[in-house]
């Protein structure tokens, strides 16, 4: 499990993560939702040791993230951030190979090559594998980054807004892929989503954040409730039942 114990973060005197204690990474998919600025990316950054908390600690299967060797951390958890500042002059294949680095240390074995091929196939990137990242559309680039994470083949996978830039079909395809990662490969996935209908449809558990705190944590269907969603987003959201599933209407 990924366990946060009293994690806090402040920037210039403003608390953006407020004494958060929670466990992530049970089986299946957990969606992390919440308004802009709620602290979702900060939470991911702290779990992945990209951001130092001001207080509290994080453990992953008992390993203290603060002191864990980088290689052990990278073999246990993959974090896809929103702001990927990886050089654009990498090809898709280079990027996916990069995902294997914690295993290969730069010398690719047959297992590494298999993982790379599988990730490229999973994300339908074959036609683009030799293209540079800056020669792709936003959605194709997003898929390439997800392929890198898939190739890393970690028990825990954290994805920060993986549906960014994707069209309707690719959004659905990525959510189905994430479901397969959880169901077929046993990955424990935590995914930040802004579309609560995707969150409700594809995840098992939804954790809602607001102003640096966890304000709801329940099976996905229970979060699809007008009063819960109003509290999370400070706006009225209608919830209807269609074919036995709760669907939020928030366009009006």
Ligand X SMILES: Nc1ncnc2c1ncn2[C@@H]1O[C@H](COP(=O)(O)OP(=O)(O)OP(=O)(O)O)[C@@H](O)[C@H]1O
Which residue ranges make up the site for ligand X (CB under 6 A)?
11, 16, 34, 36-42
Continuous segment of H or E residues that includes residue 230: helix 226-233
What is the smallest separation between the CB atom of 57 and ligand X, expressed in angstroms?
A: 19
Residue (38 or 115) nearer to ligand X, CB:
38
Task: Tell me how far CA of residue 242 lies from CA of 76, 247, 249, in angstroms.
Answer: 39, 7, 11
Residue (53 or 102) nearer to ligand X, CB:
53
What is the smallest separation between the CB atom of 38 and ligand X, expressed in angstroms?
A: 4
Phi and psi at 91, nearest 5°, equal -85, 165
Q: For residue 135, what are the contacts with CB-CB under 8 A and spacing of at least 6? A: none
Residue (38 or 151) nearer to ligand X, CB:
38
Compute the distance between CA of residue 218 and CA of residue 29 in angstroms, rounded to an integer. Answer: 12
Q: What single DSSP character describes residue 69? A: -
What is the smallest separation between the CB atom of 41 and ligand X, expressed in angstroms?
A: 3
Residue (90 or 213) nearer to ligand X, CB:
213
- Residue 81 sits at the vertex; the CA angle it makes with 80 and 82, to the nearest 5 degrees, is 130
What is the smallest separation between the CB atom of 153 and ligand X, expressed in angstroms?
A: 26
* Bridge partners (DSSP) listed for residue 214: 209
Q: Could you count the other beta carbons within 10 Å of the beta carbon of residue 8?
A: 17
For the record, the structure tokens of 186 come out as 């046993």
Residue (81 or 155) nearer to ligand X, CB:
81
CB-neighbour burial class of residue 18 (10 A; exposed 0-12, middle 13-18, buried 19+): middle
What is the smallest separation between the CB atom of 194 and ligand X, expressed in angstroms?
A: 7
What is the smallest separation between the CB atom of 155 and ligand X, expressed in angstroms?
A: 23
SS3 assignment, position 91: strand
Residue (202 or 233) nearer to ligand X, CB:
233
């Amino acid at each position: 499990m990924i366990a946060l114990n009293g994690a806090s973060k402040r920037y210039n005197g403003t608390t953006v993560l407020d004494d958060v204690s929670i466990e992530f990474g049970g089986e299946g998919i957990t969606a992390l939702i919440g308004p802009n600025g709620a602290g979702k990316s900060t939470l991911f950054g702290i779990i992945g040791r990209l951001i130092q908390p001001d207080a509290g600690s994080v453990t992953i299967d008992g390993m203290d993230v603060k002191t864990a060797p980088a290689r052990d951390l990278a073999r246990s958890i993959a974090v896809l951030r929103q702001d990927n500042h990886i050089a654009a002059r990498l090809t898709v294949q280079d990027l996916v190979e990069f995902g294997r680095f914690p295993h290969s240390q730069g010398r690719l074995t047959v297992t590494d090559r298999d993982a790379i091929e599988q990730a490229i196939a999973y994300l339908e990137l074959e036609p683009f594998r030799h293209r540079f990242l800056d020669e792709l559309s936003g959605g194709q680039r997003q898929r390439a980054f997800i392929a890198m994470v898939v190739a890393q083949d970690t028990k825990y996978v954290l994805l920060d807004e993986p549906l960014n830039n994707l069209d309707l079909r690719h959004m659905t395809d990525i959510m189905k892929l994430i479901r397969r990662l959880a169901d077929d490969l046993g990955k424990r996935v935590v995914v930040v989503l802004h579309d609560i209908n995707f969150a409700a449809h594809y995840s098992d558990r939804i954790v809602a954040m607001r102003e640096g705190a966890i304000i709801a944590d329940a099976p996905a269907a229970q979060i699809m409730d007008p009063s819960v969603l109003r509290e999370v987003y400070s706006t009225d959201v209608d919830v209807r039942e269609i074919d036995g599933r709760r669907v939020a209407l928030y366009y009006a």
